[in-house]
């Protein structure tokens, strides 16, 4: 699990309790991120190993993700109400709220993968299909881990790299989708399996997108710039101008 950097940019406040609250919400985001990472890894393992019991556990443990998200959101709401944060502190609280929403939805995608893994237990997939999915999942988990590391250090350069690396995930996802369409055209009986593979690929691709969202929030916190709907080339150019 990513850990907060000792050299983070949070400034000290007169109230030590306030400092503790800000550090705590960041730490809890990373704890939630670690839990979500475990959910993804377990869901993919359940798929590859045909482990229905593990898949069911992923589905059941989604409640832990939801509870943690609700708890952190409540803490952020309390900070907004009682501390009335200004400027940089307000950006931090906004970033935390947005990040936990994305992490909770990543948990939902892990749960979907687990459900499809159960379906594939009775409709065996080809080894090549599982290998492609496992490779995509490995890259996606790497993106999420890097995004959480960038969040822990509020590192703009690391955040930008995640956004750039997501292009590889997109290419792998598109390749899997094309292959499944081809498989269904050649063998219509393979359609149920191919559809499960396509849905799981879609979930993994969405996890990559949400990892990029987290990195956009890091840049917003560090630079005060909202880079949504802006090309990565334009973002890099804007940041270099500063």
Give Cα 2 to chain centroid, integer Å. Answer: 13
pLDDT of residue 85: 84
pLDDT of residue 213: 95
Residue predicted with more confidence, 228 or 83: 83
Tell me the pLDDT band of 225, cut-offs 50, 70 and 90. Answer: confident
The one-character DSSP state at 123 is S
pTM value surpassing 0.85? yes
Nearest to 203 by CA among 173, 167, 171: 173
Q: Which domains does the chain have, with CATH numbers?
A: 16-234 (1.20.58.220)
Identify the weakest region by mean pLDDT among 121-125, 190-194, 207-211.
121-125
Residue predicted with more confidence, 211 or 227: 211
pLDDT at 13 over 70: no
Q: Which backbone phi and psi does 125 adopt, to 5 degrees?
A: -90, 160
Q: Model confidence over 89-125: pLDDT tens digits?
A: 999 999 999 999 999 999 999 999 999 999 887 667 7
pLDDT of residue 7: 45
Q: Model confidence over 14-28: pLDDT tens digits?
A: 567 888 999 999 999
pLDDT of residue 241: 47
The one-character DSSP state at 14 is S
Burial call 20-31: b when 16+ CB within 10 Å, e when fewer: ebbeebbebbbe
Mean pLDDT, rounded, for 191-215: 96
- Taking the C-alpha atoms of residue 117 and residue 43, their distance in angstroms, rounded to an integer, is 8
Instruction: Compute CA distances 127 → 25, 132, 133, 134, 228, whole Å.
Output: 42, 9, 10, 10, 38
- Whether 106 contacts 210, CB under 8 Å: yes
- Taking the C-alpha atoms of residue 207 and residue 40, their distance in angstroms, rounded to an integer, is 9
pLDDT of residue 42: 97
The one-character DSSP state at 116 is H
Mean pLDDT, rounded, for 37-65: 95
pLDDT of residue 84: 85
């Amino acid at each position: 699990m990513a850990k907060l950097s000792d050299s983070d940019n949070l400034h000290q406040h007169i109230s030590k309790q306030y400092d503790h609250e800000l550090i705590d919400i960041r730490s809890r985001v990373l704890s939630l991120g670690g839990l979500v990472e475990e959910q993804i890894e377990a869901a993919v393992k359940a798929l590859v190993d045909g482990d229905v019991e593990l898949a069911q556990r992923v589905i059941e443990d989604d409640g832990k993700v939801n509870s943690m998200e609700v708890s952190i959101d409540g803490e952020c709401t309390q900070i907004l109400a009682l501390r009335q944060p200004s400027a940089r502190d307000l950006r931090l609280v906004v970033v935390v709220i947005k990040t936990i929403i994305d992490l909770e939805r990543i948990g939902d995608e892990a749960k979907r993968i687990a459900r499809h893994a159960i379906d594939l237990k009775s409709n065996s997939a080809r080894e090549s299909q599982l290998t492609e999915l496992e490779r995509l999942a490995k890259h996606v988990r790497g993106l999420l881990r890097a995004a959480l590391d960038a969040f822990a250090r509020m590192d703009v350069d690391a955040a930008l790299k995640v956004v750039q690396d997501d292009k590889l995930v997109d290419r792998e996802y598109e390749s899997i989708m094309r292959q499944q369409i081809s498989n269904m055209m050649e063998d219509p009986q393979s359609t149920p399996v191919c559809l499960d593979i396509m849905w799981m690929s879609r979930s993994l691709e969405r996890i990559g997108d949400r990892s990029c969202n987290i990195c956009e929030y890091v840049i917003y916190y560090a630079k005060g710039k909202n880079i949504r709907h802006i090309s990565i080339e334009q973002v890099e150019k804007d940041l270099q101008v500063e």
